[in-house]
Structure 1
Amino acid sequence: MRRAVLAITGLAAGTTALVVLKGSPGAGQAAQNIPADQASVAPGGSGPAPGVTPTPGPAGSASAPSRSTRPSSTPGTKKSTATARPTTAAPRTTTTAPKPSTRTVTGPTVDYEYGSLQVRITLNGSRIVDATALGLPLGGQSGLRSDDVQARYSGTSGEVVAKQSANLDTVSGATATSAAYQRSLQAAIDQA
């Protein structure tokens, strides 16, 4: 709010100074050509507009301020003031690249000696952005092996996303689970 007040005050002061400075040289002659009843440029008033100092006419008398007056070629003719037309900006055209489609592909269920699992991958365009194993065994030694495989391969920062393929390193102690994960993953990649 303070900045807006300062900006408006500065604009008003700058405009006033510009009018005073622009009107100084030769303004008296332009003011002499305007009849006294048409001398005011302030709407609805007979005196100068607020903040505008009148320029002295002949013999020290005050005449109308010279805001946008130009000497006319014919003395005594009414001056027309040019009005600025508001300009409109051209419509902004933005082109954005088409967003790649995100889709999910689930590989087939692969049976192995500790149970069965299937791998679901999420793709953004043709890039794998996430992977997870579904149906992994829970509890006991099988659950521990499954947790190791899931932690290493799956997720947005897992080995599947890093390598973008089913050519993964085998998790030590979980060879069968790793092989089943890789088979389902390869089938999901082939479907994608």
Structure 2
Amino acid sequence: MRRALLAITGLAAGTTALVVLKGTPGVTQVAQDRPVAEAPVAPGGSAAPAPTPVRSAAPSAPASAKPSAKAGVSRSPGAKSSTGARSTTAALKATTSAPKPANRTVTGPVVSYKYGSLQVRITLNGTRIVDATALGMPQSGQSGLRSDDVQARYSGTAGEVVAKQSANLNTVSGATYTSDAYRQSLQAAIDRA
């Protein structure tokens, strides 16, 4: 029990020292030593506030000493405590995230088969298929029932196309021709994407 407590305390002290010694992300030691008059220019053209130098914790602190939440940690002027308030580091990270890829739609060719014709349209987010649907499938009689079975199994955001991310789909029982036509149009749409 004592070893576990010492290990946890040492880990917490080491993490605190690492955070303190690392300083503000993206600010080099040269930038930290600049006078206020030579403050770096922010991307918007205005001068960024001069960062406060970070004070390091004593490296020879005994491992058994309990670290204090405030010991050796200095904050930049706009930072708030970690009790749920937003810090300047979090604000920096939020503004530098990469843009999310936009959804795009790709449609496969019309494929004629024994019971009619169909065409598959897929929606992609980046290179990932996020939705699929068949267009122009027969709606009435036995062909309509087969079409409904194929559409239910393959299409939609939770269908087999999204799950497998390919045209390697299981054949729907009793709808072999419709399944084959769907896979053929789907493969062409994937190739176009």
Query: What TM-score comes out, normalization by structure 2 length?
Result: 0.52
Residue matched to 1:168:
169
Aligned match of 2:118: 117
Residue 71 of structure 2 corresponds to which residue in structure 1? none
Displacement of 1:131: 0.2
CA shift at 1:101, angstroms? Answer: 1.9
Aligned runs of 1:57-76 on 2, under 5 Å?
Answer: none
Matches of 2:150 and 2:78, distance apart in 1: 59
Deviation at 1:98, TM superposition (A): 1.8
2:138 aligns to what SS in structure 1?
coil
Per-residue deviation, residues 132-183 of structure 1 (Å, max 9, x unmatched): 0000001100000000000000000000000000000000000000000000
- Quote the offset at 1:89 in angstroms: 4.1
Name the structure 1 match of 2:8. Answer: none
Structure 2: how far apart are the matches of 1:135 and 1:150? 11
- SS of the aligned residue for 2:144 comes to helix
**Larger Rg, first or second structure (1 or 2):** 1
Listed one character per residue, the Cα deviations across residues 92-128 of structure 1 (whole Å, up to 9, x for unaligned) are 5321122012100000000001110000000000000
Task: Give the aligned partner of residue 32 of structure 1.
Answer: none
- Whole-angstrom CA distance in 1 between matches of 2:102 and 2:140: 37
Matched residue SS, 1:181: helix
| Number of the residue aligned with 1:152 | 153
User: What is the distance in 2 between the residues matched to 1:155 and 1:135?
Assistant: 16
One-letter amino acid matched to 1:163: K
Does 2:180 match 1:179? yes
SS at match of 1:104: strand
Q: TM-score with structure 1 length normalisation? A: 0.53
Q: Can you give the 5+ residue segments of structure 1 that lack an aligned partner in the other structure?
A: 1-87
Q: Distance in 2 between the 1:186 and 1:168 partners?
A: 11
Q: 1:5-20 residue pairs with structure 2 within 5 A?
A: none
Give me the whole-angstrom Cα distance separating, in 2, the residues matched to 1:97 and 1:162. 26
1:128 match: secondary structure: strand
The share of aligned pairs that are identical, in percent, is 79
- Secondary structure, counterpart of 2:187 in structure 1: helix
Report how many aligned residue pairs link the two structures.
106
1:102-141 pair list within 5 angstroms: 102-141=103-142
Separation of aligned partners in 2, 1:105 and 1:178: 19
Gapped runs of 5+ residues in structure 2? 1-76, 80-87
SS of residue in 2 equivalent to 1:137: coil
**CA RMSD, Structure 1 to Structure 2 (Å):** 1.7
| Distance in 2, Cα, partners of 1:156 & 1:112 | 25
1:131 alignment partner, SS class: strand
Q: Which residue identity is paired with 1:180?
A: A
